[in-house]
Amino acid sequence: MTFPESLARARWATRAQFMHLGIIAGLFGAHVPSMAARYALDEQRIAVALLASTAGSVSMLLLAGRIIGRTGAQRTTMFAGWIFCLAMALLLRLPSVWLVYPVMFAIGAGESLYDIAINAEGSMLEVMGGRAVLSGFHAMFSVGAMLGAGAAAVMFKMAVAPAVQLLAVAAVVAVGLTFASRRMLPMHPPAEAGDAHFAWPRGLLLMIGLLILSGMMAEGVMYNWSVLYVRQELGALPERAALAYVSFSGATALMRFAGDWIRARVAERTIVMVGAMVASVAMALVLLVRHEVAALIGFAFVGMGLATVVPILYNASTKVPGVSRAAAIASASSIGYVGFMIGPPLVGAIAHASSLSWALCTLIGASLVLMAGASRIPLAHPNR
């Protein structure tokens, strides 16, 4: 197989891997109300369960660079994918509510390791191929999230039991990611001498990490609470509430497919600033209008606004010298995942104290931070 052919196969495989992660994320987002109903969880206990997932994610950040450096992104992706697929299949079949928390920890750990591995692969493919591809890869995550949530909506309509839904989709994803892993790059080129497998965030990495924190916190609010908002606050049926996730993910995917084209023509600082402004205004209108249709439209604009933020910032982190790609992504993500850690308990606590509507204002706050920090993003094309 020639070098261009192997790169092309690896790109398609990596697109599939991003989609697989999105399917699981979308499926879980649609089933937060199912988990709440199965184990009689209120907003605070849902927040604790989501916090357990985030703790699992953070636990992998110190190890991801070393694991990927030793075993390669290919093997790491397959191993991590099996972990979160198995945990997802078990989530609604547990005999005790107390087992929810370790299972959520496993989901978070598997997803985090998988996420870092495929982003390291994507960044390497961008360098080896000589063209921007990361935004398109992240678009496939959003496509997967839309498919996962959409599949849940269809299965809800068909009265398929939630536990059966999770088992069936997790099994399909496990098979798919195993097949795709075989077409990823067998190993990445060796890291430069002195490159660290993990770097404590400081300086430029710290700044990028704080912006990733805001972006991931805003996305996390949508992933974990949008369906519950439409279901609980607006009184929609389960299959209609699941469309909230479909709307957000679909718009995010479309914008991310255009993201690499936009990055080649517009300064990344401008992209992040305008996108954050769109997301904040859209969410404000959703919360003011309080109508199901308005929520679906507004969530689509939130998705469009946030779509390119994380791909831009992940790629920016890999430009920091003296750190391997996987380590740079893990380092910046170590702060970014704090956004997922802060988000669930913060939203849950505010919802418990007042309402979920007020709690969703955290997305507006996170978007304002992105607007304020956008001017400090390193210029990918200094002449702009």
The Cα 181–Cα 77 span in angstroms is 7
Query: With left for phi above 0 and alpha for psi between -120 and 50, is residue 130 left, alpha or beta?
Result: left
What does the pLDDT look like over 86-112, one tens digit per residue? 999 999 999 999 999 999 999 999 998
Q: What is the mean pLDDT of the chain?
A: 84
Q: Tell me the chain's radius of gyration from C-alpha atoms.
A: 19
Burial class (CB in 10 A: 0-12, 13-18, 19+), 310: buried
- Asked if residue 160 has pLDDT above 90, the reply is yes
Which letter, b or e, does each residue of 135-166 get, where b requires 16 or more Cβ atoms within 10 Å of its Cβ?
bbbbbbbbbbbbbbbbbbbebbeeeeebbebb
**Mean per-residue pLDDT, 318-342:** 68
374 DSSP 8-state letter: G
323 by DSSP, 3-state: which? strand
More confidently predicted of 53 and 77: 77
pLDDT digits (tens, 9 = 90+) for 277-317: 999 999 999 999 999 999 999 999 999 999 988 888 887 77
Give strand pairing partners of 196.
Answer: 323
pLDDT in tens, 100-149: 999 999 999 999 899 888 988 887 887 787 777 877 888 898 789 888 98
Residue 162 has pLDDT above 90, yes or no: yes
Q: For residue 6, what pLDDT is reported?
A: 80
**Is a pLDDT exceeding 50 seen at residue 193?**
no
Q: Band of the pLDDT at 79, cuts 50, 70, 90?
A: very high
- pLDDT score of 285: 95
The per-residue pLDDT for 305 is 95
Between CA 292 and CA 239 the distance in angstroms is: 13
